[in-house]
């Protein structure tokens, strides 16, 4: 059985991180404690008022008091952070949410962090571990890396992806055809 190449992210499951980054705080805005957030996520409901986020390497819990847009940045105001000096201490800190805060997905849909680390098999042959999801215009492409460092690109299409079993840590793909191979 292949050995999984997964880092310990501080959660119960070795394949699921405890926290996910949703953005990076910038320099304070004004004198009332507002601070802009550069977004890395489209899940804006995680930043609504009365939601708890976790800031910095120590994952300091902060409760969102208010949010509003300023150009392409989301201005956040946290409870008990009422002046520019307090907000300034958070400059360049990453903002996290717990994976348990993520909205549920429909059957057969997965967050990227649930896919990264899966063992990938072509029929019964172990191809490697899914190490990265690349976003392209047509469909996502999975980067699979074997123990020797060889990389294989696998398109996320119904014809190629036969099965994803995140609980078992396995993805099964159809036999890949390479350019120049006969039908």
Q: Identify the band that residue 136 occupies on the pLDDT scale cut at 50, 70 and 90.
A: confident
pLDDT at 37: 96
| Adjacent-strand bridge partners of 132 | 143
pLDDT at 178: 67
Rounded to two decimals, the pTM is 0.66
- 3-state helix, strand and coil shares in percent for the chain, rounded to the nearest 5: 10, 40, 50
pLDDT at 183: 52
Q: How far, in Å, CA of 84 to CA of 32, rounded?
A: 6
Q: How far, in Å, CA of 123 to CA of 105, rounded?
A: 27
Question: pLDDT for 110-121, tens place per residue?
Answer: 888 889 999 999
3-state secondary structure 3-19: CCCCCCCCCCCCCCCCE
Helices and strands (H and E) in the chain: how many: 2, 12
- Residue 33 in contact with residue 77, Cβ under 8 Å? yes
Question: pLDDT for 5-50, tens place per residue?
Answer: 333 333 334 546 789 899 999 999 988 899 999 999 888 898 999 9
The edge-to-edge listing of strands for the beta sheet with 141-145 is 151-155, 141-145, 125-134, 119-122, 170-173, 161-165
Topology of domain 112-173 in CATH is SH3 type barrels. (2.30.30)
The residue ranking higher by pLDDT, 137 or 8, is 137
- 10 Å Cβ neighbour count for 160? 16
| Adjacent-strand bridge partners of 67 | 76
| CATH code of the region 19-101 | 2.40.30.60
Q: Where are the domains of the chain?
A: 19-101, 112-173
Question: pLDDT for 141-170, tens place per residue?
Answer: 999 999 999 999 999 999 999 999 988 999
Q: Could you tell me the two tokens for 161?
A: 């992806």
């Amino acid at each position: 059985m292949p050995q999984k190449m997964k880092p310990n992210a501080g959660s119960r499951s070795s394949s699921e991180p405890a926290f996910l980054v949703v953005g990076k705080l910038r320099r304070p805005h004004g004198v009332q404690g507002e601070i802009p957030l550069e977004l890395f996520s489209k899940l804006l409901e995680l930043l609504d008022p009365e939601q708890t986020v976790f800031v910095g390497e120590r994952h300091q819990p902060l409760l969102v008091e208010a949010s509003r847009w300023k150009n392409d940045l989301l201005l956040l105001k946290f409870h008990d952070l009422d002046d520019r000096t307090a907000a300034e201490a958070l400059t360049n800190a990453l903002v996290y949410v717990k994976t348990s805060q993520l909205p549920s997905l429909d059957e057969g849909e997965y967050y990227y962090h649930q896919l990264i680390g899966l063992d990938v098999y072509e029929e019964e042959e172990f191809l490697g571990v899914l190490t990265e999801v690349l976003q392209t215009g047509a469909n996502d492409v999975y980067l699979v890396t074997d123990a020797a460092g060889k990389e294989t690109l696998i398109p996320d299409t119904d014809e190629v992806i036969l099965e994803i079993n995140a609980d078992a840590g396995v993805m099964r793909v159809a036999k890949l055809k390479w350019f120049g191979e006969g039908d």
